[in-house]
Structure 1
Protein backbone atom coordinates (compact mmCIF):
# COMPACT_ATOMS: atom_id res chain seq x y z
CA UNK A 1 0.00 0.00 0.00
CA UNK A 2 1.22 3.49 -0.83
CA UNK A 3 -0.27 5.00 2.33
CA UNK A 4 -1.20 3.77 5.76
CA UNK A 5 -4.55 2.01 5.88
CA UNK A 6 -5.97 4.52 8.36
CA UNK A 7 -5.11 7.45 6.08
CA UNK A 8 -6.54 5.71 3.03
CA UNK A 9 -9.77 5.02 4.90
CA UNK A 10 -9.93 8.64 6.10
CA UNK A 11 -9.82 9.83 2.51
CA UNK A 12 -12.90 7.72 1.84
CA UNK A 13 -15.00 8.51 4.88
CA UNK A 14 -14.10 12.20 5.32
CA UNK A 15 -16.16 13.30 2.28
CA UNK A 16 -19.22 11.58 3.76
CA UNK A 17 -18.73 13.39 7.06
CA UNK A 18 -18.24 16.72 5.29
CA UNK A 19 -21.83 16.67 4.10
CA UNK A 20 -22.62 18.34 7.42
CA UNK A 21 -21.05 21.49 5.95
CA UNK A 22 -23.07 21.41 2.73
CA UNK A 23 -24.88 24.70 1.96
CA UNK A 24 -28.29 23.28 2.82
CA UNK A 25 -27.22 22.46 6.39
CA UNK A 26 -27.11 26.19 7.16
CA UNK A 27 -30.90 26.26 6.99
CA UNK A 28 -31.01 23.87 9.95
CA UNK A 29 -29.03 26.10 12.28
CA UNK A 30 -30.79 29.20 10.95
CA UNK A 31 -34.09 27.56 11.91
CA UNK A 32 -32.77 27.18 15.46
CA UNK A 33 -32.18 30.93 15.52
CA UNK A 34 -28.40 30.82 15.21
CA UNK A 35 -26.62 33.64 13.44
CA UNK A 36 -24.21 32.95 10.61
CA UNK A 37 -22.16 30.01 9.39
CA UNK A 38 -19.66 29.90 12.24
CA UNK A 39 -22.19 29.81 15.06
CA UNK A 40 -23.83 26.88 13.32
CA UNK A 41 -20.49 25.20 12.66
CA UNK A 42 -19.34 25.33 16.26
CA UNK A 43 -22.74 24.32 17.61
CA UNK A 44 -23.05 21.32 15.30
CA UNK A 45 -19.53 20.06 15.87
CA UNK A 46 -19.27 20.83 19.59
CA UNK A 47 -22.76 19.63 20.60
CA UNK A 48 -21.56 16.11 21.57
CA UNK A 49 -19.39 17.76 24.26
CA UNK A 50 -22.39 19.41 25.92
CA UNK A 51 -22.60 23.11 26.75
CA UNK A 52 -18.88 23.48 27.46
CA UNK A 53 -17.27 26.94 27.55
CA UNK A 54 -15.48 28.32 24.47
CA UNK A 55 -12.05 27.66 26.00
CA UNK A 56 -12.70 23.92 25.89
CA UNK A 57 -13.84 24.03 22.26
CA UNK A 58 -10.85 26.18 21.30
CA UNK A 59 -8.56 23.60 22.88
CA UNK A 60 -10.25 20.62 21.21
CA UNK A 61 -10.52 22.18 17.76
CA UNK A 62 -6.92 23.42 18.09
CA UNK A 63 -6.42 25.60 15.00
CA UNK A 64 -9.13 28.21 15.56
CA UNK A 65 -8.32 31.54 17.18
CA UNK A 66 -10.30 31.87 20.39
CA UNK A 67 -12.06 34.97 19.06
CA UNK A 68 -13.68 32.87 16.32
CA UNK A 69 -15.05 30.45 18.90
CA UNK A 70 -16.07 33.12 21.39
CA UNK A 71 -18.24 34.85 18.83
CA UNK A 72 -20.30 31.65 18.52
CA UNK A 73 -20.19 30.08 21.98
CA UNK A 74 -21.78 30.09 24.49
CA UNK A 75 -24.37 32.25 22.67
CA UNK A 76 -25.40 29.31 20.47
CA UNK A 77 -26.62 27.36 23.50
CA UNK A 78 -29.01 30.21 24.25
CA UNK A 79 -30.80 29.48 20.97
CA UNK A 80 -30.77 25.69 21.32
CA UNK A 81 -29.19 23.40 23.93
CA UNK A 82 -26.77 20.71 22.74
CA UNK A 83 -29.39 17.93 22.83
CA UNK A 84 -31.63 19.93 20.50
CA UNK A 85 -28.70 20.70 18.22
CA UNK A 86 -27.83 16.99 18.01
CA UNK A 87 -31.39 16.13 17.03
CA UNK A 88 -31.34 18.86 14.40
CA UNK A 89 -27.97 17.60 13.18
CA UNK A 90 -29.42 14.14 12.58
CA UNK A 91 -32.37 15.60 10.66
CA UNK A 92 -30.08 17.75 8.55
CA UNK A 93 -27.75 14.85 7.73
CA UNK A 94 -30.74 12.68 6.85
CA UNK A 95 -31.98 15.31 4.39
CA UNK A 96 -28.53 16.08 2.93
CA UNK A 97 -27.63 12.43 2.32
CA UNK A 98 -31.03 11.62 0.84
CA UNK A 99 -30.84 14.60 -1.50
CA UNK A 100 -27.29 13.96 -2.68
CA UNK A 101 -27.22 10.16 -2.88
CA UNK A 102 -30.89 9.61 -3.67
CA UNK A 103 -33.67 7.78 -1.78
CA UNK A 104 -32.84 4.43 -3.37
CA UNK A 105 -29.18 4.62 -2.36
CA UNK A 106 -29.84 5.52 1.27
CA UNK A 107 -32.38 2.69 1.51
CA UNK A 108 -30.10 0.12 -0.13
CA UNK A 109 -28.70 -2.98 1.51
CA UNK A 110 -25.20 -1.80 0.55
CA UNK A 111 -25.56 1.38 2.56
CA UNK A 112 -26.91 -0.53 5.54
CA UNK A 113 -23.91 -2.84 5.32
CA UNK A 114 -21.56 0.14 5.14
CA UNK A 115 -23.27 1.71 8.16
CA UNK A 116 -22.91 -1.44 10.24
CA UNK A 117 -19.26 -1.93 9.30
CA UNK A 118 -18.42 1.70 9.99
CA UNK A 119 -20.29 1.56 13.30
CA UNK A 120 -18.31 -1.49 14.37
CA UNK A 121 -15.06 0.32 13.53
CA UNK A 122 -16.17 3.46 15.37
CA UNK A 123 -17.12 1.51 18.48
CA UNK A 124 -13.68 -0.13 18.42
CA UNK A 125 -11.90 3.24 18.41
CA UNK A 126 -9.65 3.80 21.43
CA UNK A 127 -10.83 7.12 22.86
CA UNK A 128 -8.60 7.50 25.92
CA UNK A 129 -7.32 11.07 25.82
CA UNK A 130 -9.42 11.83 22.71
CA UNK A 131 -12.18 14.16 23.80
CA UNK A 132 -14.03 14.73 20.51
CA UNK A 133 -13.77 11.10 19.51
CA UNK A 134 -15.08 9.96 22.88
CA UNK A 135 -17.96 12.45 22.89
CA UNK A 136 -19.14 11.27 19.47
CA UNK A 137 -18.65 7.60 20.30
CA UNK A 138 -20.90 8.01 23.36
CA UNK A 139 -23.91 9.18 21.31
CA UNK A 140 -26.84 6.83 20.79
CA UNK A 141 -26.89 4.62 17.70
CA UNK A 142 -29.09 6.29 15.05
CA UNK A 143 -31.97 4.17 13.76
CA UNK A 144 -31.68 5.19 10.10
CA UNK A 145 -28.73 3.38 8.43
CA UNK A 146 -27.50 6.40 6.45
CA UNK A 147 -27.56 8.63 9.55
CA UNK A 148 -25.82 5.83 11.45
CA UNK A 149 -23.14 5.74 8.74
CA UNK A 150 -22.63 9.48 9.06
CA UNK A 151 -22.33 9.33 12.85
CA UNK A 152 -19.89 6.43 12.62
CA UNK A 153 -17.56 8.18 10.17
CA UNK A 154 -17.82 11.36 12.23
CA UNK A 155 -16.66 9.46 15.30
CA UNK A 156 -13.77 8.01 13.27
CA UNK A 157 -12.69 11.37 11.87
CA UNK A 158 -12.81 13.07 15.28
CA UNK A 159 -10.87 10.13 16.74
CA UNK A 160 -8.24 10.62 14.04
CA UNK A 161 -8.29 14.38 14.55
CA UNK A 162 -7.68 14.05 18.28
CA UNK A 163 -4.66 11.89 17.49
CA UNK A 164 -3.43 14.45 14.96
CA UNK A 165 -3.60 17.23 17.53
CA UNK A 166 -1.60 15.08 19.94
CA UNK A 167 1.01 14.50 17.24
CA UNK A 168 1.26 18.22 16.51
CA UNK A 169 1.66 19.03 20.20
CA UNK A 170 4.25 16.30 20.57
CA UNK A 171 6.27 17.77 17.71
CA UNK A 172 5.98 21.30 19.08
CA UNK A 173 3.72 22.76 16.39
CA UNK A 174 1.23 25.29 17.68
CA UNK A 175 -2.05 26.07 15.87
CA UNK A 176 -0.67 28.58 13.37
CA UNK A 177 2.53 26.66 12.70
CA UNK A 178 0.43 23.57 12.05
CA UNK A 179 -1.58 25.43 9.41
CA UNK A 180 1.52 26.93 7.80
CA UNK A 181 3.02 23.45 7.60
CA UNK A 182 -0.18 22.09 6.02
CA UNK A 183 -0.26 24.89 3.45
CA UNK A 184 3.44 24.58 2.64
CA UNK A 185 2.93 20.86 2.05
CA UNK A 186 0.37 21.73 -0.64
CA UNK A 187 -2.54 20.15 1.22
CA UNK A 188 -4.64 23.29 1.76
CA UNK A 189 -4.82 26.93 0.74
CA UNK A 190 -3.03 29.10 3.32
CA UNK A 191 -5.34 32.09 2.96
CA UNK A 192 -8.41 29.87 3.40
CA UNK A 193 -6.92 28.36 6.54
CA UNK A 194 -5.80 31.67 8.06
CA UNK A 195 -8.95 33.63 7.31
CA UNK A 196 -11.34 30.81 8.18
CA UNK A 197 -9.68 30.23 11.53
CA UNK A 198 -9.47 33.99 12.16
CA UNK A 199 -5.72 34.51 12.54
CA UNK A 200 -4.15 37.78 11.43
CA UNK A 201 -1.19 38.12 9.10
CA UNK A 202 1.12 39.05 11.96
CA UNK A 203 0.58 35.70 13.67
CA UNK A 204 0.90 33.84 10.35
CA UNK A 205 4.16 35.56 9.42
CA UNK A 206 5.56 34.98 12.90
CA UNK A 207 4.88 31.26 12.53
CA UNK A 208 6.52 31.27 9.09
CA UNK A 209 9.58 33.04 10.52
CA UNK A 210 9.87 30.50 13.32
CA UNK A 211 9.66 27.60 10.90
CA UNK A 212 12.35 29.20 8.71
CA UNK A 213 14.54 29.72 11.75
CA UNK A 214 14.30 25.99 12.47
CA UNK A 215 15.14 25.13 8.85
CA UNK A 216 11.70 23.73 8.04
CA UNK A 217 10.39 26.39 5.65
CA UNK A 218 12.19 27.75 2.58
CA UNK A 219 12.20 31.41 1.56
CA UNK A 220 9.60 30.73 -1.14
CA UNK A 221 7.17 29.29 1.41
CA UNK A 222 7.68 25.61 0.51
CA UNK A 223 8.92 22.94 2.86
CA UNK A 224 12.63 22.23 3.03
CA UNK A 225 13.77 18.62 3.09
CA UNK A 226 13.82 18.81 6.89
CA UNK A 227 10.36 20.38 6.90
CA UNK A 228 8.98 17.68 4.63
CA UNK A 229 10.46 15.00 6.89
CA UNK A 230 8.94 16.63 9.98
CA UNK A 231 5.55 16.95 8.28
CA UNK A 232 5.64 13.30 7.28
CA UNK A 233 6.62 12.32 10.81
CA UNK A 234 3.51 14.07 12.15
CA UNK A 235 1.35 12.36 9.54
CA UNK A 236 2.90 8.97 10.24
CA UNK A 237 2.24 9.34 13.95
CA UNK A 238 -1.33 10.42 13.17
CA UNK A 239 -1.81 7.38 10.95
CA UNK A 240 -0.41 5.02 13.57
CA UNK A 241 -2.65 6.46 16.27
CA UNK A 242 -5.71 5.91 14.06
CA UNK A 243 -5.09 2.25 13.18
CA UNK A 244 -6.92 0.47 16.00
CA UNK A 245 -10.47 0.63 14.55
CA UNK A 246 -9.26 -1.03 11.35
CA UNK A 247 -7.15 -3.63 13.13
CA UNK A 248 -10.21 -4.65 15.16
CA UNK A 249 -12.51 -4.60 12.12
CA UNK A 250 -10.08 -6.76 10.16
CA UNK A 251 -8.61 -6.55 6.67
CA UNK A 252 -11.49 -8.13 4.75
CA UNK A 253 -14.21 -6.06 6.43
CA UNK A 254 -12.14 -2.89 6.08
CA UNK A 255 -11.63 -3.49 2.36
CA UNK A 256 -15.34 -4.15 1.98
CA UNK A 257 -16.18 -0.89 3.74
CA UNK A 258 -13.70 0.97 1.52
CA UNK A 259 -15.46 -0.36 -1.58
CA UNK A 260 -18.86 0.63 -0.20
CA UNK A 261 -17.69 4.13 0.72
CA UNK A 262 -15.95 4.84 -2.58
CA UNK A 263 -19.05 5.70 -4.67
CA UNK A 264 -20.36 7.91 -1.86
CA UNK A 265 -17.06 9.77 -1.59
CA UNK A 266 -16.93 10.15 -5.38
CA UNK A 267 -20.44 11.61 -5.43
CA UNK A 268 -19.45 14.20 -2.81
CA UNK A 269 -16.33 15.17 -4.74
CA UNK A 270 -18.18 15.42 -8.04
CA UNK A 271 -20.82 17.61 -6.40
CA UNK A 272 -18.09 20.20 -5.76
CA UNK A 273 -18.52 20.17 -1.99
CA UNK A 274 -14.77 19.72 -1.45
CA UNK A 275 -12.97 22.21 -3.69
CA UNK A 276 -9.24 22.26 -4.27
CA UNK A 277 -7.38 23.72 -1.30
CA UNK A 278 -10.12 22.66 1.12
CA UNK A 279 -9.25 23.13 4.82
CA UNK A 280 -9.33 19.41 5.63
CA UNK A 281 -6.66 18.70 3.02
CA UNK A 282 -8.37 15.98 1.01
CA UNK A 283 -6.38 15.31 -2.13
CA UNK A 284 -7.58 11.91 -3.35
CA UNK A 285 -8.56 8.36 -2.44
CA UNK A 286 -5.64 5.91 -2.56
CA UNK A 287 -6.07 2.17 -2.86
CA UNK A 288 -6.70 0.25 0.35
CA UNK A 289 -6.94 -3.22 -1.16
CA UNK A 290 -4.24 -5.88 -1.09
CA UNK A 291 -1.52 -5.47 -3.66
Structure 2
Protein backbone atom coordinates (compact mmCIF):
# COMPACT_ATOMS: atom_id res chain seq x y z
CA UNK A 1 0.00 0.00 0.00
CA UNK A 2 1.46 3.33 -1.02
CA UNK A 3 1.84 5.78 1.83
CA UNK A 4 -0.06 8.96 1.14
CA UNK A 5 1.87 11.87 2.57
CA UNK A 6 0.28 15.17 1.58
CA UNK A 7 -0.69 18.41 3.22
CA UNK A 8 -2.69 21.33 1.89
CA UNK A 9 -0.90 24.65 1.65
CA UNK A 10 0.98 26.91 -0.67
CA UNK A 11 3.82 25.27 -2.55
CA UNK A 12 7.19 26.12 -1.09
CA UNK A 13 5.87 27.47 2.19
CA UNK A 14 7.80 26.63 5.32
CA UNK A 15 4.64 25.65 7.16
CA UNK A 16 3.63 23.22 4.45
CA UNK A 17 7.06 21.59 4.53
CA UNK A 18 6.85 21.24 8.31
CA UNK A 19 3.34 19.76 8.11
CA UNK A 20 4.44 17.25 5.49
CA UNK A 21 7.43 16.25 7.65
CA UNK A 22 5.16 15.85 10.68
CA UNK A 23 2.84 13.61 8.67
CA UNK A 24 5.82 11.58 7.51
CA UNK A 25 6.88 11.09 11.12
CA UNK A 26 3.53 9.52 12.01
CA UNK A 27 3.26 7.43 8.84
CA UNK A 28 6.71 5.96 9.41
CA UNK A 29 6.13 5.35 13.11
CA UNK A 30 3.04 3.32 12.30
CA UNK A 31 5.20 1.13 10.07
CA UNK A 32 8.45 0.80 11.99
CA UNK A 33 6.96 0.29 15.46
CA UNK A 34 5.57 -3.21 14.75
CA UNK A 35 8.88 -4.32 13.23
CA UNK A 36 10.81 -2.94 16.19
CA UNK A 37 8.43 -4.75 18.58
CA UNK A 38 9.80 -8.12 17.49
CA UNK A 39 12.54 -7.60 20.07
CA UNK A 40 9.94 -7.90 22.83
CA UNK A 41 7.70 -10.64 21.54
CA UNK A 42 9.49 -12.91 19.05
CA UNK A 43 10.25 -16.36 20.51
CA UNK A 44 13.76 -16.24 19.03
CA UNK A 45 14.51 -13.24 21.21
CA UNK A 46 13.09 -14.90 24.32
CA UNK A 47 15.32 -17.91 23.70
CA UNK A 48 18.37 -15.67 23.26
CA UNK A 49 17.65 -13.86 26.52
CA UNK A 50 17.23 -17.17 28.32
CA UNK A 51 20.50 -18.42 26.86
CA UNK A 52 22.25 -15.37 28.30
CA UNK A 53 20.89 -16.29 31.72
CA UNK A 54 18.22 -13.64 31.98
CA UNK A 55 15.64 -14.61 34.56
CA UNK A 56 12.19 -14.02 33.15
CA UNK A 57 10.64 -11.75 30.56
CA UNK A 58 11.26 -8.46 32.33
CA UNK A 59 14.94 -8.98 32.99
CA UNK A 60 15.34 -9.78 29.30
CA UNK A 61 13.25 -6.77 28.31
CA UNK A 62 15.25 -4.27 30.32
CA UNK A 63 18.62 -5.78 29.43
CA UNK A 64 17.86 -5.92 25.70
CA UNK A 65 16.47 -2.41 25.51
CA UNK A 66 18.92 -0.74 27.89
CA UNK A 67 22.10 -2.46 26.64
CA UNK A 68 23.11 0.45 24.34
CA UNK A 69 23.35 2.65 27.46
CA UNK A 70 25.91 0.34 29.06
CA UNK A 71 25.64 -1.01 32.60
CA UNK A 72 23.85 2.05 33.96
CA UNK A 73 22.00 1.89 37.29
CA UNK A 74 18.24 1.23 37.40
CA UNK A 75 17.53 4.88 38.21
CA UNK A 76 18.79 5.92 34.77
CA UNK A 77 16.68 3.31 32.99
CA UNK A 78 13.61 4.24 35.02
CA UNK A 79 14.09 7.85 33.96
CA UNK A 80 14.64 7.04 30.26
CA UNK A 81 11.81 4.52 29.94
CA UNK A 82 9.53 6.88 31.91
CA UNK A 83 6.36 4.83 32.44
CA UNK A 84 7.73 1.96 34.55
CA UNK A 85 7.59 1.95 38.33
CA UNK A 86 11.11 1.96 39.71
CA UNK A 87 10.54 -1.38 41.45
CA UNK A 88 9.86 -3.07 38.09
CA UNK A 89 13.23 -1.89 36.80
CA UNK A 90 15.11 -2.65 40.02
CA UNK A 91 14.03 -6.29 39.91
CA UNK A 92 15.88 -6.67 36.60
CA UNK A 93 18.81 -4.25 36.82
CA UNK A 94 21.64 -4.27 37.68
CA UNK A 95 21.29 -8.04 38.26
CA UNK A 96 21.08 -8.67 34.51
CA UNK A 97 24.67 -7.46 34.03
CA UNK A 98 25.89 -10.25 36.32
CA UNK A 99 24.67 -12.75 33.70
CA UNK A 100 25.84 -10.95 30.55
CA UNK A 101 27.61 -7.73 29.72
CA UNK A 102 25.86 -5.07 27.64
CA UNK A 103 28.15 -5.95 24.72
CA UNK A 104 27.13 -9.61 24.94
CA UNK A 105 23.47 -8.60 25.09
CA UNK A 106 23.85 -6.40 22.00
CA UNK A 107 25.48 -9.22 20.03
CA UNK A 108 22.75 -11.66 21.08
CA UNK A 109 20.12 -9.06 20.19
CA UNK A 110 21.41 -8.81 16.62
CA UNK A 111 21.53 -12.58 16.18
CA UNK A 112 18.07 -13.05 17.64
CA UNK A 113 16.49 -10.38 15.45
CA UNK A 114 18.14 -11.86 12.39
CA UNK A 115 16.58 -15.23 13.24
CA UNK A 116 13.21 -13.70 14.10
CA UNK A 117 12.96 -11.63 10.92
CA UNK A 118 14.16 -14.47 8.72
CA UNK A 119 11.63 -16.82 10.30
CA UNK A 120 8.69 -14.42 10.06
CA UNK A 121 9.36 -12.68 6.75
CA UNK A 122 11.07 -15.61 5.02
CA UNK A 123 14.62 -16.00 3.67
CA UNK A 124 13.63 -14.79 0.20
CA UNK A 125 12.30 -11.52 1.63
CA UNK A 126 15.22 -10.76 3.94
CA UNK A 127 17.64 -11.69 1.17
CA UNK A 128 15.98 -9.45 -1.41
CA UNK A 129 17.26 -6.21 -2.90
CA UNK A 130 14.15 -4.43 -1.59
CA UNK A 131 14.85 -5.52 1.98
CA UNK A 132 18.45 -4.31 1.72
CA UNK A 133 17.16 -1.02 0.30
CA UNK A 134 14.82 -0.61 3.27
CA UNK A 135 17.70 -1.33 5.66
CA UNK A 136 19.90 1.29 4.03
CA UNK A 137 17.16 3.92 3.97
CA UNK A 138 16.33 3.29 7.63
CA UNK A 139 19.99 3.48 8.59
CA UNK A 140 20.43 6.76 6.71
CA UNK A 141 17.35 8.27 8.36
CA UNK A 142 18.54 7.11 11.79
CA UNK A 143 21.99 8.60 11.21
CA UNK A 144 20.32 11.97 10.49
CA UNK A 145 18.30 11.94 13.72
CA UNK A 146 18.98 14.82 16.09
CA UNK A 147 19.92 13.27 19.42
CA UNK A 148 20.75 16.23 21.66
CA UNK A 149 18.78 15.62 24.84
CA UNK A 150 17.63 12.19 23.58
CA UNK A 151 19.59 9.64 25.54
CA UNK A 152 18.13 6.39 24.21
CA UNK A 153 18.30 7.60 20.62
CA UNK A 154 21.89 8.75 21.03
CA UNK A 155 22.98 5.44 22.56
CA UNK A 156 21.41 3.44 19.74
CA UNK A 157 22.66 5.78 17.03
CA UNK A 158 26.23 5.33 18.29
CA UNK A 159 26.22 1.57 17.63
CA UNK A 160 28.21 0.28 14.66
CA UNK A 161 26.48 -0.30 11.33
CA UNK A 162 25.63 -4.02 11.09
CA UNK A 163 26.60 -5.93 7.95
CA UNK A 164 23.46 -8.08 7.87
CA UNK A 165 20.46 -6.30 6.36
CA UNK A 166 18.18 -7.77 9.03
CA UNK A 167 20.23 -6.33 11.87
CA UNK A 168 20.81 -3.09 9.97
CA UNK A 169 17.10 -2.59 9.34
CA UNK A 170 16.08 -3.42 12.88
CA UNK A 171 18.77 -1.25 14.47
CA UNK A 172 17.99 1.69 12.19
CA UNK A 173 14.28 1.43 13.00
CA UNK A 174 15.04 1.08 16.69
CA UNK A 175 17.12 4.26 16.71
CA UNK A 176 14.22 6.05 15.02
CA UNK A 177 11.77 4.55 17.48
CA UNK A 178 13.78 5.66 20.51
CA UNK A 179 14.30 9.08 18.89
CA UNK A 180 10.54 9.52 18.73
CA UNK A 181 10.12 8.05 22.21
CA UNK A 182 12.63 10.43 23.76
CA UNK A 183 10.73 13.32 22.16
CA UNK A 184 7.43 11.96 23.46
CA UNK A 185 8.79 11.88 27.00
CA UNK A 186 10.01 15.46 26.65
CA UNK A 187 6.55 16.53 25.48
CA UNK A 188 4.87 14.76 28.39
CA UNK A 189 7.20 16.49 30.84
CA UNK A 190 6.54 19.86 29.22
CA UNK A 191 2.79 19.26 29.56
CA UNK A 192 3.11 18.34 33.24
CA UNK A 193 2.02 14.75 32.61
CA UNK A 194 3.78 12.26 34.84
CA UNK A 195 4.19 8.57 33.96
CA UNK A 196 0.85 7.43 35.38
CA UNK A 197 -1.10 10.46 34.15
CA UNK A 198 0.26 9.85 30.65
CA UNK A 199 -0.92 6.24 30.70
CA UNK A 200 -4.33 7.13 32.12
CA UNK A 201 -4.87 9.62 29.30
CA UNK A 202 -3.72 7.06 26.71
CA UNK A 203 -6.20 4.53 28.06
CA UNK A 204 -8.98 7.12 28.26
CA UNK A 205 -8.38 7.96 24.60
CA UNK A 206 -9.06 4.30 23.76
CA UNK A 207 -5.52 3.73 22.49
CA UNK A 208 -4.49 1.15 25.07
CA UNK A 209 -5.96 -1.04 27.78
CA UNK A 210 -5.56 0.70 31.12
CA UNK A 211 -5.35 -2.43 33.26
CA UNK A 212 -2.70 -3.85 30.95
CA UNK A 213 -0.61 -0.69 31.18
CA UNK A 214 -0.91 -0.47 34.95
CA UNK A 215 -0.11 -4.10 35.63
CA UNK A 216 2.78 -4.48 33.19
CA UNK A 217 4.37 -1.21 34.33
CA UNK A 218 3.87 -2.37 37.95
CA UNK A 219 1.86 0.51 39.35
CA UNK A 220 -0.57 0.00 42.23
CA UNK A 221 -4.25 0.66 41.63
CA UNK A 222 -4.01 3.43 44.23
CA UNK A 223 -1.40 5.18 42.05
CA UNK A 224 -3.65 4.83 39.01
CA UNK A 225 -6.71 6.11 40.86
CA UNK A 226 -4.78 9.06 42.28
CA UNK A 227 -3.57 10.03 38.79
CA UNK A 228 -7.15 9.84 37.53
CA UNK A 229 -8.30 12.09 40.36
CA UNK A 230 -5.65 14.66 39.50
CA UNK A 231 -6.69 14.62 35.86
CA UNK A 232 -10.34 15.08 36.82
CA UNK A 233 -9.38 18.04 39.00
CA UNK A 234 -7.63 19.53 35.98
CA UNK A 235 -10.73 19.05 33.85
CA UNK A 236 -9.14 16.44 31.60
CA UNK A 237 -11.18 13.38 32.62
CA UNK A 238 -14.91 12.84 33.06
CA UNK A 239 -16.18 11.03 36.13
CA UNK A 240 -16.63 7.87 34.04
CA UNK A 241 -12.95 7.96 33.04
CA UNK A 242 -13.44 9.20 29.49
CA UNK A 243 -11.69 12.27 28.13
CA UNK A 244 -13.29 15.67 28.48
CA UNK A 245 -12.98 18.00 25.47
CA UNK A 246 -10.05 19.56 27.30
CA UNK A 247 -8.47 16.16 27.85
CA UNK A 248 -8.91 15.26 24.19
CA UNK A 249 -7.27 18.55 23.26
CA UNK A 250 -4.28 17.90 25.52
CA UNK A 251 -3.92 14.36 24.19
CA UNK A 252 -4.03 15.62 20.60
CA UNK A 253 -1.47 18.32 21.41
CA UNK A 254 0.89 15.73 22.87
CA UNK A 255 0.71 13.68 19.67
CA UNK A 256 1.08 16.74 17.43
CA UNK A 257 4.15 17.96 19.32
CA UNK A 258 5.64 14.45 19.28
CA UNK A 259 5.21 14.24 15.51
CA UNK A 260 6.83 17.65 15.09
CA UNK A 261 9.78 16.68 17.28
CA UNK A 262 10.30 13.46 15.29
CA UNK A 263 10.46 15.04 11.84
CA UNK A 264 14.22 15.62 11.42
CA UNK A 265 15.14 12.17 10.00
CA UNK A 266 12.38 12.42 7.39
CA UNK A 267 13.26 15.96 6.38
CA UNK A 268 16.82 14.75 5.86
CA UNK A 269 15.75 11.70 3.88
CA UNK A 270 13.33 13.68 1.70
CA UNK A 271 9.74 13.04 0.71
CA UNK A 272 10.38 10.59 -2.12
CA UNK A 273 12.75 8.32 -0.21
CA UNK A 274 10.69 8.54 2.98
CA UNK A 275 7.63 7.45 1.02
CA UNK A 276 9.68 4.66 -0.53
CA UNK A 277 10.74 3.44 2.92
CA UNK A 278 7.12 3.54 4.11
CA UNK A 279 6.09 1.41 1.14
CA UNK A 280 8.89 -1.09 1.78
CA UNK A 281 8.03 -1.35 5.47
CA UNK A 282 4.28 -1.64 4.96
CA UNK A 283 4.12 -5.39 4.18
CA UNK A 284 6.62 -6.16 6.94
CA UNK A 285 4.56 -4.25 9.50
CA UNK A 286 1.41 -6.01 8.31
CA UNK A 287 3.06 -9.42 8.74
CA UNK A 288 4.00 -8.58 12.32
CA UNK A 289 0.56 -7.16 13.08
CA UNK A 290 -1.18 -10.30 11.85
CA UNK A 291 1.36 -12.81 13.17
CA UNK A 292 -0.22 -13.29 16.58
CA UNK A 293 3.03 -12.23 18.27
CA UNK A 294 1.75 -8.91 19.58
CA UNK A 295 -0.03 -9.31 22.92
CA UNK A 296 -3.33 -7.73 23.91
CA UNK A 297 -3.04 -4.33 25.55
CA UNK A 298 -1.46 -2.14 22.82
CA UNK A 299 1.05 -0.37 25.10
CA UNK A 300 2.22 1.98 22.31
CA UNK A 301 -1.29 2.89 21.20
CA UNK A 302 -0.92 2.16 17.50
CA UNK A 303 -4.18 2.73 15.67
CA UNK A 304 -3.11 1.35 12.30
CA UNK A 305 -3.43 -2.29 11.30
CA UNK A 306 -4.93 -5.29 12.99
CA UNK A 307 -4.27 -5.78 16.67
CA UNK A 308 -5.51 -8.41 19.09
CA UNK A 309 -8.70 -7.63 20.96
CA UNK A 310 -8.06 -5.11 23.68
CA UNK A 311 -4.69 -4.20 22.16
TM above 0.5, yes or no, is yes
Deviation at 1:114, TM superposition (A): 0.3
Question: 1: distance between equivalents of 2:193 and 2:291?
Answer: 34
Distance in structure 1 (CA, Å) of the matches to 2:177 and 2:214:
22
Deviates more, 1:206-215 or 1:272-281: 272-281
State the match for 1:151 in structure 2: 171
Query: Which residue of the partner structure matches residue 278 of structure 1?
Result: 298
Task: Work out the CA distance in 1 between the residues paired with 2:211 and 2:245.
Answer: 23
Shift of residue 4, structure 1, vs aligned partner? 2.1
In the TM superposition, residue 59 of structure 1 has moved relative to its aligned partner by 0.2
Mapped pair 1:165 → 2:192:
no
Q: CA deviation at 1:23?
A: 4.0
Query: How far has the Cα of 1:270 moved from its partner?
Result: 1.0
- State the number of aligned residues: 285
Q: 2:139, 2:168 within 8 Å by CA — same for their partners in 1?
A: yes
Q: CA deviation at 1:146?
A: 1.5
Task: Tell me by how many angstroms 1:22 deviates.
Answer: 2.0
Residue by residue, what CA displacement relative to the aligned partner does 1:61-84 show, whole Å, maximum 9, x if unpaired? 000000000000000000001000
SS in 2 for 1:127: coil
Give me the whole-angstrom Cα distance separating, in 2, the residues matched to 1:186 and 1:86: 35
Give the one of 140, 143, 154 matched to 1:120. Answer: 140
1-structure distance, mates of 2:158, 2:274:
22
Q: Which residue of 1 aligns with 2:58?
A: 38
Question: In the alignment, what sits opposite 2:108?
Answer: 88
What CA distance in whole angstroms lies between the structure 2 residues aligned with 1:137 and 1:130? 10
1:179 aligns with 2:199: yes
* Aligned residue in 1 for 2:14: none
Q: Normalising by structure 2, report the TM-score.
A: 0.90
List gaps (5 residues or longer) in structure 1: 286-291
Partner of residue 49, structure 1: 69
1:288 aligned partner: none
Q: What is the CA–CA distance in structure 1 between the aligned matches of 2:40 and 2:183, rounded to whole Å?
A: 22
1:140 aligns with 2:169: no
Match of 1:269 in 2: 289
State the distance in 2 between where 1:81 and 1:226 align.
47
2:240 aligns with: 220
Provide runs of 4+ in structure 1 moved above 6 Å: none
Paired residues of 2:42 and 2:116 also in contact (CA < 8 A): no
Instruction: Give the TM-score taking structure 1 as reference length.
Output: 0.96
Equivalent-residue separation in structure 1 for 2:90 and 2:35 (angstroms): 28
C-alpha contact 2:213 2:297 (8 A) present in aligned 1:
no
Aligned to 2:208: 188
Give the stretch that moved more between structures: 68-77 or 269-278.
Answer: 269-278
Deviation (angstroms), 1:21:
1.3
Match of 1:10 in 2: 29
8 Å CA contact 2:142–2:176 kept in 1: the answer is: yes
Separation in structure 1 between the aligned mates of residue 207 and residue 218 of structure 2, nearest angstrom:
19
Give 5+ residue unaligned stretches, structure 2.
1-5, 8-21, 306-311
Q: CA RMSD in A?
A: 1.1
1:277, distance to aligned residue in structure 2 (A): 3.2
- Give distance in 2, aligned partners of 1:221 and 1:238: 24
* Cα shift at 1:274: 2.7
2:255 matched to 1:235? yes
Q: How does 1:202-221 map to 2 (within 5 A)?
A: 202-221=222-241
- 8 Å CA contact 2:118, 2:126 repeated in 1: yes
Cα deviations across residues 222-268 of structure 1 (Å, max 9, x unaligned)? Answer: 11000000011111110000000000000000000000000000100
